[in-house]
Amino acid sequence: MVERVAAGASLAAEFDRVAEERLDTPRGALIDLTHGTLRRYGRVQAIVRHLSRRASGDALVEALLWCSLYALESGRYADYTVVDQAVRACGLLERWNAKGYVNAVLRGFLRERGSLETRIQADPEARYQHPRWWIEILRHTYSAKADAMLEAGNSHPPMCLRVNRRRVAVAQYQEQLQQAGIATRTLGNEALLLEHPVPIERLPGFDRGEVSVQDAGAQRAADCLDLADGQRVLDACAAPGGKSGHILERAQVALTALDADAARCVRLERNLVRLGLVARVARADCTRPAEWFDGAPFDRILADVPCSASGIARRHPDIKWLRRADDVTAFAARQGTILDSLWQVLGADGKLLYATCSVFPQENDAVIEAFLARTPGAVRVSLPDGAAAQGLPDAERDGFYYALIRKPA
């Protein structure tokens, strides 16, 4: 899986492949090794480069070394076990000639750990485990905060819940969690932050729609949409449906949820059924209103646009290495097109909430400023929750950006 990601596949697609092929491998072990290795991708690559007397020329062997180095540094396994299993894995992978090479690199790492660390610290990609261009954007934009953001991008993400107050009170559900031995604390409104992540099977009432897993940063969308009963609301890039569900839990609105991907629309519908909520779900490209718009303007629009996902990279550690610097410019162009299209279906005095899970200003303030400059009458208004537009990733939440724009009456 790691070798495929290094060649350009997405980690999510790899997990879908594993599920389809029904491979008999514990999912927890796969998540640990793949996500852990890819979070340290810059580091483990640098270690192999420093220790190799020759290039292996074999991408699968390289990936085996990266995973093995992560396992050694994780502290979960005895050193001799990792080395032994890695050498034996060469046989399972039919790479018998690589046994000596793998053994030498891993033993070299154990022997030269101290001196290696000094060399690694001099390499920004190895030290911060992010691409150089990504590091430069954060340092230019956030200055002193950049190092903390890079560190957050390599951390394990927090697990936050959103309580469905149509089915259970927040305090009541928190009590259920406590009885199940799951410690939490409130983050405001419906958000409960778990002290330690747990499988969703352990969450009381999950199948009954009492709770959803949703980052606290993502939950800001419903806070900032300025919802009221009776409104017509559009979630323009809706799947897998977390924000759609939250909107319907918050207010009695007529919701239209769009997504261009058929499989993701199915997931969205299943999620709404679990929550006991109803919306019009349509497979459609939001930039082509003629194909889905019924002519009745919307009071509120959520434009949760495709983006670099730089604010949630710790949840998708492959993103850092699959993205390229020019992708950010391409995303910004697409985001501008989406705004222009959705503005056409927003009613007078309506509000559009622009949202990204990015921390790159090229996708955020720059896109909004350009839209306002070319759109007569569009006015940016304060966010109802009073928080800053750009939320940064930290121990409690991921990095999300929100901007609320009002159309003249």
- Catalytically active residues, by annotation: 357
Q: Tally Cβ neighbours within 10 Å of residue 93.
A: 15
CA distances from 363 to 6, 110, 311, 390 (A): 26, 43, 11, 11
Whether 268 and 240 have beta carbons less than 8 Å apart is answered as yes
Q: Tally Cβ neighbours within 10 Å of residue 94.
A: 9
Cα–Cα distance for residue pair 272/340, rounded to 1 Å: 29
H or E, element range at 245: helix 242-250
- Which residues face 113 on adjacent strands? none
Q: Which amino acid is at 346?
A: L
- Which residues face 406 on adjacent strands? 351, 379
140: CB partners within 8 A, 6+ apart? none
Question: Among 328, 314, 401, which residue's Cα sits nearest to residue 359?
Answer: 401
Cα–Cα distance for residue pair 355/223, rounded to 1 Å: 12
CA distances from 312 to 35, 61, 203 (A): 13, 29, 23
Cα–Cα distance for residue pair 289/166, rounded to 1 Å: 32
Cα–Cα distance for residue pair 384/377, rounded to 1 Å: 20
Question: Among 399, 307, 310, 321, which residue's Cα sits nearest to residue 38?
Answer: 321
Whether 3 and 63 have beta carbons less than 8 Å apart is answered as yes
> Got the DSSP string for 131-188?
-HHHHHHHHHHHGGGHHHHHHHHTSPPP-EEEE-TTTS-HHHHHHHHHHTT--EEE-S
Question: Among 199, 237, 192, 197, which residue's Cα sits nearest to residue 216?
Answer: 192
Question: Among 268, 261, 266, which residue's Cα sits nearest to residue 241?
Answer: 268
